[in-house]
Amino acid sequence: MTAYTATVTVRLKAGVLDPEAETTQRALERLGFELADLRSADRFELDLEADSADAARDRAEEMTERLLANPTIHDYEVDVAER
C-alpha cells in the first residue's frame, strides 16, 4: 500500500444561491475591490493508504458522494497525489 493525499474541492453548482460568497463579495467591494463574481468552496484533504492512485481516487469519490457533498447542489473535484 502507498500513502496518498486526496484533495477534494466542493462548491455549489451554478445557479444555486451562495450567501457566503455574496456576503464576502459585498465586503470586498466595500473595501474597494472590483469583482465580476465570487464563489465559495470547501476543501478537504484526505490522507489514506491505497494500492494505486486510481484506488485512492475511487475511495475519495465515494467518501465525497456519501458525506462531503450533496450531488443535487454540489459539484466536486478530486485530485490525488502520492505522499
Choices 1.10.645.10, 3.40.50.261, 3.30.1280.10, 3.30.565.10: CATH for 2-82: 3.30.1280.10
pLDDT tens, 9-53?
999 999 999 999 999 999 999 999 999 999 999 999 999 999 999
What does the pLDDT read at residue 15? 93
Q: Grid coordinates in use for 56? A: 485512492
What is the average per-residue pLDDT within 47-65? 98
How far apart are alpha carbons 46 and 80 in whole angstroms? Answer: 9
Which residue type occupies 28?
L
pLDDT at 14 (0 to 100): 93
Contact 79, 52 (CB under 8 A): no
- Amino acid at residue number 49: E
pLDDT at 21: 97
**pTM over cut 0.75:** yes
Q: Where are the domains of the chain?
A: 2-82
Q: State mean pLDDT over 51-58.
A: 98
